[in-house]
Structures are given as structure tokens and as C-alpha cells.
Structure 1
Amino acid sequence: MYVVEPIEPMKNIDFGATGVDEILQNVAFILATAMMSCPLDREFGWDMTVIDSPINIVKARIIAKVTEAINKFEPRALIASIEVTGDGLVGSLKPKVKVKINESI
């Protein structure tokens, strides 16, 4: 298994990515995409609407929603851990994901 450093939401796209880089880029793209924002696939991404709850509950919901999205849209990446960072008081929470990738890919 191949374990990577925490992946954050995508900022740049490498259109020629293949193998492990492709999988990591796909995970980063999922993290950066809000559900209902892709016109041809409204279910792609994860549901970012988490409001009016205590911070530990919000973090748990983010972890659950990100896990569900990655398992659905990039099954080649196995989640090792998810950490939610940021300031919940200003509404800025971002997931960072560590994944395991099978070396045979």
C-alpha cells in the first residue's frame, strides 16, 4: 500500500496526471467540489451544508460526508484518516485526508 501526506482541496489541475498522481488529484478535486455544483452530475462532490451545530458535531458530519464522497467517486483511494482544520467560529473548516493506494495501480 502507498500512503500519502494529507491531501487538501485542489487548487491546480494537471490534465496529464496518471497512476497515483491521478488518484490523489481526484481526491483533491472531490474535496474542493460542493455537491450540486457540477451541471452534468449533481451528486458529485460532498455536501458542504453543515450549519448551526456544535463544532465537534460539525467536524464529525464533515468527516462522514467526505468519506462517503471519496468512497463513491474514487474507490481506488482507501481513507487512512481525515482531519478537519480551520476556525469553526468564522465558518472556515477544511478537511485534510490521508489515503492509502494499492501499489499495483
Structure 2
Amino acid sequence: MSINQAHYQGGLLLYQGEQIVNHSKNVTLAFDDASRQYSDVFRGKHKGKVFVTTHRMIFLSDDLRDSLLSFAVAFMYMKNLRVEQPIFGANYISGIAAAHPNGECA
């Protein structure tokens, strides 16, 4: 998991050899447990775009004044993923994103 490391001048920053598999606009990102314990970066709801690449999932904020400009998590650090399709609500994906060991990016 990395914060504000996957963007550059409003665009997406990819690793060498990484390819975009899918992307979605008008996405809302919210953090449940982390928002109570950690920085203000995790608080509130963030609107933007999500990119699924061959290596990770990346969120880019639409608001350049937001404290969370980008959020990226490698697939190997994601667990308990669930895709929910409620009858009277919007579809969503939930899960747990773990930090990289020692704060290093993979």
C-alpha cells in the first residue's frame, strides 16, 4: 500500500512493464478502520478514478486539493476481498489493504 506515490502531474505513474487491465470513473473510496487511528489522509470519502493493472489497484483523486491524491495497493497485500451487488444500492468492493513491510514499495 502506498499513498501519494502513484501519480505525477495529475496523471497515472506505472512501473516498467505494468499494463492497465481495467479502469472506472466516478468511484468513491472510503476507509473504515484506518480513518479512526491514522492520519487525516484516510478520513472522509474521496472521489476519483480506479485503475486495475497487471500488478496493483490504483486510485487517483479528481480533486487536486485532496490530501489523498493517489492510493495504490499490490494484489499480494490485499485480503478478504468481497464484491457486493446489493439490490437497492450501488455495487462495491470491500477488503483489507495491508502496508508493505517496513514501509517499502514493492
Is this a same-fold pair by TM over 0.5? no
Provide the TM-score with structure 1 as the length reference.
Answer: 0.33
Between structures 1 and 2, the one with greater strand share: 2
Provide the TM-score with structure 2 as the length reference.
Answer: 0.33
Q: With CA pairs under 8 Å and 6+ residues apart, which has the higher RCO, 1 or 2?
A: 1
